[in-house]
Copies of this chain bind each other. A is one copy, B any other.
Amino acid sequence: VERFRALTPSEFFYRNKELAGFSNPARALYQTVRELLENALDATDSHLIKPVIKVIIKRDEVNEKLFSVSVEDNGIGIPYTHVPKAFGQLLYSSKYVLRQTRGMFGLGAKMAVLYGQMTAGKPVEVVTSPMLSRRIYFFKVAIDVKTNTPRIVERGSYVKGSGWHGTIVKISLEGDWMRSKSKIYEYLRRTAIIAPYADIVFEDPEGTVVYFERSIEKLPVPPREVKPHPKGVDIEMLKMMLSSSKAKSLKEFLVREFQSVGEVTALRIISEAGLDPTLSPREVDSSGVERLVEAIKSDNRIKPPKGDHLSFVGPEIIEAGLKSVLRPEFVSAITRRPSVYAGHAFIVEAGIAFGGEIQPSDKPILYRYANKIPLLYDEGSDVARKVVDSIDWGNYGVSFPAPLAVLVHICSTKIPYKGVGKESVADVPEVQKEIELAVREVARRLRRYLTKKRREREEAER
């Protein structure tokens, strides 16, 4: 006899934590560091704050399998009313809006808290103060897994004695430092490449302190929130938007709720769907919704999203990052114009670095990024690896083994990740095409450099 049951999101992700990257103590330690660091960077560079971040991993003095991971940032802080849910309720987030951020799932911090709770039995410790707040708030939060609600174990606040603003998050968990050490250092190194404007201090369990020093003062353009684009719409989304819109007419609804839709476009879509533009949004019936979606899909005159809301890194910062970390002989980067997939604008950036201190390898070393997050695992199923491997590098003057590194960065209001652990990107055709165009462009610049170098060498030999 089948026993039916419903799970809460916390029960579901507790049972399937490996889906989120928490598959064993070594991966869990890595994932905890990255989830907290990504939150810290979102809280700073997305708000034009030059990030100053401290990451400390300590080994427990009693139980050598236990570690504490602490990440402090100088970001915008978290309003105290939201702290319990931000850390104690799965699927709770401030990043569910249409804006390019590292975070997108509302799971990262909670999965780390959950893993810590399962393996070390301790609540997460959060200290935070928003910029305009006169107080500093501290919490100890645990997740009630059965109900997906936060349990506040301890809370308090005190008056701020300084101008400090930001957040400190500390999680205790079972880890495996020896097995995750190289991946954690590589993650930090790759973060320094894509975010050379960040000051990151890292103290590891062996007491080693590494300072990834800011090497450029320039910050990327911060991301802006945008309205959805009509080409990303489906029947369900349109129904939800129609029922919650404050617009008084169908025409006002389309112009107000979507980007790239002016009066002319709205009237054309409405007429194509055989509807009355003065209809109240809530009066559109199911068949009307379907005809609207159909009209939008078949309309070829709707302008694509501009993409100027995206926060690309830019060639200057990428080259500075590659130079500072890889110390190559040659470096070049490119930022492509915005493109679109499924109604989401995206920008592909590519960088190439050659020679200098780069170690020769049998195929290009690939530095993959999505919304400024370094992706280290599952390279084999990532679209960027597929593109880089499909290129005949001999055409660009490169014969392996060669000291060649390729950087690929995709930014978008929605990254088509293959899993909630954010390790690889699906091969969406539009994205794959843009990556290829970007990589071939920087490869051509490398070829020009190698050709020029070879000629200079031949010249010198005469």
Chain A positions near chain B (C-beta within 8 angstroms): 2-9, 11-12, 14-16, 18-19, 23, 76, 79, 82, 85-86, 89, 91-94, 96-97, 105-106, 114, 117-121, 145-146, 234-237, 240, 286, 289-290, 378, 380-381, 416-420, 424, 426, 428
- For the complex, give the distance between the alpha carbons of A146 and B239 in Å: 11
CB distance from A94 to the nearest CB of B (A): 4
CB distance from A73 to the nearest CB of B (A): 14
- For the complex, give the distance between the alpha carbons of A378 and B378 in Å: 10
CB distance from A197 to the nearest CB of B (A): 21
By the criterion CB–CB under 8 Å, are B12 and A237 in contact?
Answer: no
Query: Please, which residue of chain B has its CB at the minimum distance from the CB of A96?
Result: B5
By the criterion CB–CB under 8 Å, are A145 and B4 in contact?
Answer: no
- For the complex, give the distance between the alpha carbons of A117 and B236 in Å: 7
When A3-B97, A85-B4, A91-B9 are in contact, do A105 and B234 touch as well, CB less than 8 Å? no
| Smallest CB-CB A-B distances: 7 pairs | A2-B94, A380-B380, A118-B234, A381-B381, A118-B236, A7-B91, A121-B235
- For the complex, give the distance between the alpha carbons of A85 and B117 in Å: 31
The 21 listed contacts between A and B (C-beta, < 8 Å) are: A2-B94, A5-B96, A7-B92, A9-B12, A11-B91, A12-B91, A12-B105, A12-B106, A18-B418, A19-B417, A19-B418, A23-B416, A23-B428, A118-B234, A118-B235, A145-B240, A146-B240, A380-B380, A381-B381, A418-B419, A419-B419
Q: Which of A2, A6, A96, A119 has the most CB of B within 10 A?
A: A2
